[in-house]
Amino acid sequence: MQNKNSSLRDEIIRISGTNPRKCMLCGKCSATCPAFDGMDYAPHQFVNMIENGNIEPLLNSKSIYQCLSCFACLERCPRTVEPAKLIEAVRLSVIRKQGANHLKPDNIPALLDEDLPQQAIVSAMRKYNK
């Protein structure tokens, strides 16, 4: 398991700019996470699984879209591991697969929802139009 997927592991660590080895397995990130209930993998698991190169399950997990980027984990982590940045990095590495999840302007009207803030649409467009 150790060196499996090591290039993806390095890529994710590089994007996140954090060092998962600093983690002392206290679980405060998961304790503090407001989106925990909707997650299949908890923030502390992200840290550990990325460090171990066990990244495949994370790429397909619900968690990466459940994370609110509220940065509570980042704020409270006693070791400055910053799990939110790692989750964001996994999310980015999924999004950056070009063409895999294309969002075209034409598709947007069908997705529109009255309660959806406009900013969310703009940012979704930015993220998914590549």
CA dihedral 96, 101, 103, 104 (to 10 degrees): 110
Q: Which is nearer to other proteins, 79 or 127 (CB)?
A: 79
Q: Work out which of 15, 26, 92, 124 binds other proteins, going by CB under 8 A.
A: 26
Choices 9-17, 55-63, 73-81, 103-111 (CB under 8 A): range interacting with other proteins: 73-81
Q: How far is the CB of 29 from other proteins (least distance, A)?
A: 8
Does residue 21 contact residue 51 with C-beta atoms inside 8 Å? yes
93 binds other proteins (CB under 8 A): no
Count of residues of this chain found to bind other proteins when the rule CB under 8 A is applied: 21
17 binds other proteins (CB under 8 A): no
CA dist 46 to 42, 73, 97, 107, Å? 7, 12, 20, 32
